[in-house]
Structure 1
Amino acid sequence: MIKNESKINDDAMVNVRRSATEHRATWTGLTYVKACEAGKAEFAEKIIREAVAATGVMQGNEIKEACPNPDDLSVFGDTFLPPDAVKTFELEYVTKNADKLEMHFHYCPLLKAWQKLGFDEAACEKLCDIAMDGDRNIAKAMGYDFELGDTIANGCPTCHITYSKKK
């Protein structure tokens, strides 16, 4: 059972960011579901993953250029996730140092969009994993390792995401 309820609801900037994120997730979700309905699930997943991965590489390159010290993962975290983004995802830092950025996300606006559309849990899980290709490729562009642990879409209370220096 997916539980994805926000606790921060009275912050105007956070609400704007969440609305924009939900809108983007709606496009992706409907594209995937409509392709599945047309019997093109595998093709749609391949194309959407490629597009999300390319977006992640572009975003990672932008972050790397803007990051004052890309060798320090705590500095990367501050560049990648400014305070409004932290609030948007109700993010908690578990570890934030030069070598590792481990986070728990307590809310996901992408998932909320898919839930509002009435997608079943399997579709939400698939779309979540596809969306994570963006984060995987941000890590790749930054030269970091990436680990996705538990996710809200898989019924866990939080999403566990870790960026770390290459071993």
Structure 2
Amino acid sequence: MIDNKITIKGDTVVDIQRGAIGHRATWTGLTYTKGCEAGMAEEMEKVIRQAISETGNTQGNEIREKCPDAEDVSVFADTFLSPTLQKTFEITFKTKNKDRVDLEFHHCPLLKAWQDLGFDDAACEKLCDMAMDGDRGIANAMGYEFHLGDTIAKGCKTCEVSFYKKEK
């Protein structure tokens, strides 16, 4: 059972950001489910993954341009994860150094939007993995590896996300 709790409440900017992210998730979720209803599940997943991945690559290139030292993964994290974004997803850093950043997300506004639409756990898990193609694209644009461990959408307590330097 998915438990996507919110502990940071009443922060106007965080609430606005969560709303915008949830709105984006609603579009994606409804696009995917309507495609599934039309018998095009595989095609919709492929197209949505391509679009999200390209979005991630675009965002990653923008982050790379703003990042004072893209060789330092902790500097990337500071550039990518603003204090507001950290509060939005209720992120804690498990590791943060020049070679790697390991994060735990305690809330997901995308998942909340899908839950609010009444999507079952399997659909939420599929949409979550599709959405993570954006983070995979960011890692790719930065020249990093990416790892997704546990996710809230799989019924786990947190989402475990890692960005780290590629092996040479």
Q: Would you call these one fold, judging by a TM-score over 0.5?
A: yes
Q: Partners of 2:137 and 2:21 in 1: how far apart? A: 18
Superposed displacement of residue 151, structure 1:
0.2
Superposed displacement of residue 87, structure 1:
0.2
Q: Partners of 2:165 and 2:43 in 1: how far apart? A: 33
Superposed displacement of residue 10, structure 1:
1.0
Q: Which residue of 2 aligns with 1:143?
A: 143
Show the 5 A alignment for 1:8-27: 8-27=8-27
Structure 1 unmatched ranges of 5 or more:
none
Paired residues in the alignment total 167
Query: What secondary structure is seen at the aligned counterpart in 1 of 2:39?
Result: coil
Q: Partners of 2:11 and 2:75 in 1: how far apart? A: 25
Q: Which residue of 1 aligns with 2:3?
A: 3
Structure 2 unmatched ranges of 5 or more:
none
Instruction: Provide the identity percentage.
Output: 62
Q: Which residue of 2 aligns with 1:114?
A: 114
Q: Partners of 2:137 and 2:127 in 1: how far apart? A: 16
User: Deviations for 1:71-113, whole angstroms, at most 9, x for unmatched residues?
Assistant: 1111100100000000000000000010000000000000000
Show the 5 A alignment for 1:31-46: 31-46=31-46
TM-score scaled by length of structure 2: 0.99
Q: Which residue of 1 aligns with 2:28?
A: 28
Query: What secondary structure is seen at the aligned counterpart in 2 of 1:119?
Result: coil
Query: What secondary structure is seen at the aligned counterpart in 2 of 1:56?
Result: helix
Q: Partners of 1:11 and 1:92 in 2: how far apart? A: 18
User: Deviations for 1:34-57, whole angstroms, at most 9, x for unmatched residues?
Assistant: 000110000000000000000000
Q: Which residue of 2 aligns with 1:124?
A: 124
Query: What secondary structure is seen at the aligned counterpart in 2 of 1:162?
Result: strand
Q: Partners of 2:85 and 2:73 in 1: how far apart? A: 17
Let me know the Cα RMSD of the aligned residues. 0.4
Say yes or no: does 1:53 pair with 2:53: yes
Q: Which residue of 1 aligns with 2:77?
A: 77
Superposed displacement of residue 5, structure 1:
1.1
Q: Which residue of 1 aligns with 2:88?
A: 88
Q: Partners of 2:33 and 2:65 in 1: how far apart? A: 35
Query: What secondary structure is seen at the aligned counterpart in 1 of 2:103?
Result: strand
